[in-house]
């Protein structure tokens, strides 16, 4: 056996120190104890690690010049001892790593909630958002389809769709504009009379969910939280701004598109929409700029305030959009679906439709549009979902 080992002593010696680590390089003199001698011998055998090509031509290993790395020769007992030593060391390291990994995972979940999700996950959403924004372009379009493939999308969730709503008395409140008095629809006080006064009285009829599997992990579907009722009160907004009618929206260029409506739950439906591009709306009703200068939405959209907030008339549902998504060519203020005016269930008289976001952002029955430089509140982002939710 010694012969065999000597024969290989001219083979290359692997310097893979930490791999086979812990070897007794300062081995005790052979004469001391048999244990030490044996350990030294095994250590030498391990050091003699040899790289050799597969010689067997039958073997597939020779085809690509695979190599095998083997130690020097040991007795059964020595091999058993050495592999045991290696196993103790590596199983301990592995076990410690597993425990540390599990503790780290628990620690993630133990972090304080931000919008219904532990902060590390919220930060991951925001990190992903940063990358998406960097790549985003308002002219990079989603696929469009033949109109013949259009179908009716599912009605999913009733937040913000209080009963007693009358589209005829509806007005669109717009705030956050640059120099709003320049528009004829300007008013000192955008609060207006509608049938909304009793809107919360008969919530039950309209808060019905066709789909009981609403994408809500924190709140039972169909409930209106105290939070959103407070918002409804706040929604009786006083102050200057514009009050627009559907005629004002229809005066903007009419655009049609047949696109895929994608719900965050995972289903999708191809729908034909008609409406005004939000980009055209923004170009006509120019938002304020970040530095107060004259806006030029078409040519310098980056100067505008960074967000758009949209809220239902009862304040029960609200979404925030980033300005680039709002300016996307497939982002519409839609008033027709599949060739007919929107019905109440699908958001009459005016809803948002965009290929840049999941359905949760495509708010129905828009009551107010606010341009703002502060990231707007978003119904589902407060309930554990990604604020950006962008495509």
Q: Does 192 bind another protein (CB under 8 A)?
A: no
Task: Report d(CA 358, CA 21) in Å as an integer.
Answer: 53
Interface pattern 295-314 for another protein (x via CB under 8 A): --------------------
Q: Does 132 bind another protein (CB under 8 A)?
A: yes
Choose which of 71, 289, 312, 362 interacts with another protein (CB under 8 A).
71
Q: Does 55 bind another protein (CB under 8 A)?
A: yes
Task: Report d(CA 270, CA 83) in Å as an integer.
Answer: 62
Q: Does 387 bind another protein (CB under 8 A)?
A: no
**Which residues 224-263 are close enough to bind another protein by CB under 8 A?**
260, 262-263
Q: Return contacts of 70-75, CB within 8 angstroms, 24+ apart.
A: 71/45, 71/46, 72/5, 72/8, 72/44, 72/45, 72/46, 72/47, 72/48, 73/1, 73/4, 73/5, 73/45, 74/41, 74/42, 74/45, 75/1
| Nearest approach, Cβ of residue 242 and another protein (Å) | 30
Please give, one letter per residue, the 3-state secondary structure of 96-140.
HHHHHHHHHHHHHHHCCECCCCEHHHHHHHHHHHHHHHHHCCCCC
**Could you give the residue ranges of the DSSP H alpha helices within 236-341?**
246-250, 278-284, 323-326
Choose which of 26, 31, 139, 143 interacts with another protein (CB under 8 A).
143
Binding piece for another protein, criterion CB under 8 A, among 124-132, 229-237, 275-283, 307-315: 124-132
Between 320 and 349, whose beta carbon lies closer to another protein?
320
Between 52 and 345, whose beta carbon lies closer to another protein?
52
Q: Does 53 bind another protein (CB under 8 A)?
A: yes
Report the relative pairing of strands 241-244 and 172-175 from DSSP bridges. Answer: antiparallel
| Nearest approach, Cβ of residue 249 and another protein (Å) | 24
Q: Does 73 bind another protein (CB under 8 A)?
A: yes
Task: Report d(CA 330, CA 342) in Å as an integer.
Answer: 18
DSSP string, 341-380: EPPGGGTTT-EEEETTB-GGGS-SS--EEEEESSPPP-TG
Distance of CA 152 to the CA centre of its chain: 26
Q: Does 46 bind another protein (CB under 8 A)?
A: yes
Between 335 and 385, whose beta carbon lies closer to another protein?
385
Q: Does 26 bind another protein (CB under 8 A)?
A: no
Task: Report d(CA 66, CA 62) in Å as an integer.
Answer: 6
Q: Does 377 bind another protein (CB under 8 A)?
A: no
Between 68 and 251, whose beta carbon lies closer to another protein?
68
Between 94 and 239, whose beta carbon lies closer to another protein?
94
| Nearest approach, Cβ of residue 150 and another protein (Å) | 15
**Which residues 309-368 are close enough to bind another protein by CB under 8 A?**
330, 355-356
Q: Does 75 bind another protein (CB under 8 A)?
A: yes
**Which residues 257-286 are close enough to bind another protein by CB under 8 A?**
260, 262-268
């Amino acid at each position: 056996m010694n012969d065999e080992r000597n024969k290989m002593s001219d083979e290359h010696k692997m310097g893979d120190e930490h791999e086979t680590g812990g070897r007794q390089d300062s081995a005790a003199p052979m004469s001391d104890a048999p244990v030490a001698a044996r350990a030294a011998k095994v250590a030498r055998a391990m050091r003699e690690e040899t790289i050799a090509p597969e010689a067997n031509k039958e073997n597939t290993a020779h085809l690509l010049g695979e190599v095998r790395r083997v130690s020097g020769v040991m007795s059964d007992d020595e091999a058993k001892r050495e592999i045991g030593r290696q196993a103790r060391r590596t199983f301990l390291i592995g076990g410690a790593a597993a425990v540390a990994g599990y503790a780290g995972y628990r620690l993630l979940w133990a972090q304080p909630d931000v919008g219904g999700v532990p902060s590390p996950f919220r930060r991951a959403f925001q990190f992903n958002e940063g990358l998406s924004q960097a790549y985003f372009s308002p002219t990079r379009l989603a696929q469009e389809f033949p109109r013949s493939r259009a179908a009716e999308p599912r009605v999913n969730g009733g937040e913000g769709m209080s009963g007693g709503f009358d589209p005829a008395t509806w007005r669109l409140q717009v705030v956050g504009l640059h120099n709003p008095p320049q528009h004829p629809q300007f008013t000192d006080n955008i609060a207006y009379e509608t049938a909304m006064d009793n809107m919360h009285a008969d919530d039950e009829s309209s808060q019905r969910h066709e789909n009981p599997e609403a994408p809500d992990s924190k709140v039972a579907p169909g409930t209106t939280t105290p939070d959103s009722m407070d918002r409804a009160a706040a929604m009786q907004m006083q102050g200057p701004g514009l009050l627009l009618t559907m005629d004002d929206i229809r005066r903007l260029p009419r655009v049609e598109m047949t696109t895929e409506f994608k719900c965050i739950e995972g289903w999708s439906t191809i729908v034909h929409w008609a409406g005004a591009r939000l980009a055209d709306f923004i170009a006509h009703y120019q938002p304020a700029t970040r530095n107060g200068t004259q806006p030029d939405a078409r040519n310098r959209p980056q100067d505008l305030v960074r967000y758009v907030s949209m809220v239902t008339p009862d304040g029960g549902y609200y979404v925030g959009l980033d300005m680039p998504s709002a300016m996307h060519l497939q982002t519409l203020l839609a008033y027709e679906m599949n060739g007919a005016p929107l019905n109440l269930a699908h958001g009459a008289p005016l809803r948002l439709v965009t290929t840049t976001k999941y359905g949760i952002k495509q708010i129905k029955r828009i009551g107010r549009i606010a341009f703002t430089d502060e990231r707007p509140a978003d119904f589902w982002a407060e309930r554990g979902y990604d604020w950006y939710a962008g495509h």
